[in-house]
Amino acid sequence: MILVTGGSGTVGRKILRRLPQDTPVRVLSRSGTGVPERPGNPFEVVRGDYDRPASIHAAMAGVETVFVVTCDPCRPWQDEILVEAAAAAGVRSLVKLSALAVEDQGAHDLVTRWQRDNEELIRTSGMEWTFLRPRAFMTNTLGWARTIREDGVVRALGGTTRNACIDPRDVARAAVQVLTSPGQHGRTYALTGPEAISPAQQADAIGRALGRPVRFEELPPHEALAGLCRRYPLPVAQALLESAERQHAGAKTRVSTDLAALTGRQPTDYLTWAHDNAHAFGATGLRTLTTAA
C-alpha cells in the first residue's frame, strides 16, 4: 500500500493519475476535495491533517511507502508528526518532495532551511528514503493568468533572471518511477526542465501559445513583496524574495539530466507547457487534451 500525501495538490494529483491501475493507493487529504478518482480500483481517501496527529497515525496503518508532501515552513512540527507516525506504523520507505535549493550552498532562506531540516529528519528516521529535488514548478506562472487575460501583461520581479523550471507532470513521472521500482533507497534526484529561462522569456512563450503578444513589466521589489504578502505569511514572503535574489545571482540555471536518466524521457520545455495550459491564460477554442494530466 502506497500512501500519497498532498494528493489534491499540484504534484500529488499528477502522481495519482500515473500510478499503475493495480497499485493499492491510499490518499491523505483534509477535505478530500480535489483528489482525482480512479475508476475500477478506487483510491482509498482518508481524512487527515498534520495538525491532528491521531489522524496521521490512523492513515499510516498497513502502509509500506509514503509519498511525502508538506507545505508549511512556519509549522515544522507537521513534518515531525508525519515522520513519527510513519516510523511507529512500520512504514518501510519515504519518498519526499523536497526542493533543489537544498543543494545551493548560498541558500539560507526559511523555506530552504525547512526543507533541509525535513530531509535530515527523514534521513535519520531509520526508514528508507528517496528525495526528489525539483527546481521551480512551471505552474507557478499560472499566478500571472489574471493580468494576462485582462491586460496582456506579466508584472513580475527579475525579468531577465533565469530558472531551470520544471513541468510538475515531469516531477510526477519521476515520483511514479521511484514509487514503483526497487533500489531507490538513499537516492536524491535533481529535477529541472531542459533549459533555464527568464520571466520575460516565459511571458513571450505564453504569448506565442496564445497567438497574441504578452508583454513583461518589471515589478519593483517592494511591490513584489506586497504581492507575496497577500498570499503568504511575512516570513515565507521574505524567504521567496531571498530566493529571487539568488536567482538574480544566477544560482538556478543548472540543468540536470536526472529526470531523463530516471524516466527515460526528456523534460518538457516551457513553450510546450504554455501551449498545454493556454486555456488558463485566456486561449479560446478547444482545450488541449494533455492540460489536466
Single residue of 20, 41, 54, 71 touching ligand NAP by CB under 6 A: 71
Question: Long-range contacts made by residues 45-54, C-beta under 8 angstroms, separation at least 24?
Answer: 45/7, 50/75, 50/78, 50/79, 50/81, 50/82, 51/75, 51/78, 51/81, 53/81, 53/84, 53/85
Does the protein bind ligand NAP through residue 136 (CB under 6 A)?
Answer: yes
Alpha-carbon distance of 50 to 206, in angstroms, equals 37
Closest contact distance (angstroms) between CB of 286 and ligand NAP is 26
Q: Which is nearer to ligand NAP, 50 or 270 (CB)?
A: 50
Q: Which stretch binds ligand NAP (CB under 6 A): 69-77, 123-131, 220-228, 262-270?
A: 69-77
Single residue of 2, 3, 4, 9 touching ligand NAP by CB under 6 A: 9
Q: Which is nearer to ligand NAP, 193 or 207 (CB)?
A: 193
H-only helix segments in the chain? 10-18, 53-60, 77-88, 110-123, 145-151, 168-180, 199-210, 221-231, 234-248, 258-263, 270-276
The residue whose grid cell reads 536524491 is: 188
Does the protein bind ligand NAP through residue 141 (CB under 6 A)?
Answer: no
Q: Which is nearer to ligand NAP, 137 or 281 (CB)?
A: 137
Alpha-carbon distance of 164 to 253, in angstroms, equals 5
Single residue of 24, 41, 44, 51 touching ligand NAP by CB under 6 A: 51
Could you tell me which of 291, 274, 159 has the C-alpha nearest to residue 210?
274
Dihedral angle sign, alpha carbons of residues 35, 76, 229, 240? negative
Single residue of 70, 93, 141, 268 touching ligand NAP by CB under 6 A: 70
Q: Which stretch binds ligand NAP (CB under 6 A): 28-36, 181-189, 197-205, 272-280?
A: 28-36
* 44, β-bridge pairs: 26
Alpha-carbon distance of 201 to 210, in angstroms, equals 14
Q: Which is nearer to ligand NAP, 151 or 291 (CB)?
A: 291
Does the protein bind ligand NAP through residue 6 (CB under 6 A)?
Answer: yes
Q: Which stretch binds ligand NAP (CB under 6 A): 37-45, 47-55, 248-256, 268-276?
A: 47-55
Q: Helix, strand or coil for residue 259?
A: helix
Single residue of 20, 88, 120, 140 touching ligand NAP by CB under 6 A: 140
Any idea what DSSP says for residue 109? S
Stretch 94-133: interaction string toward ligand NAP, x if CB under 6 A: ---x-x----------------------------------
Q: Which is nearer to ligand NAP, 32 or 211 (CB)?
A: 32
**In angstroms, what CA-CA distances link 79 with 67, 179, 190, 220, 258?**
13, 20, 21, 35, 26
Does the protein bind ligand NAP through residue 30 (CB under 6 A)?
Answer: yes
Interface ranges with ligand NAP (CB under 6 A): 5-12, 28-31, 34, 48-51, 69-71, 97, 99, 134, 136-137, 140
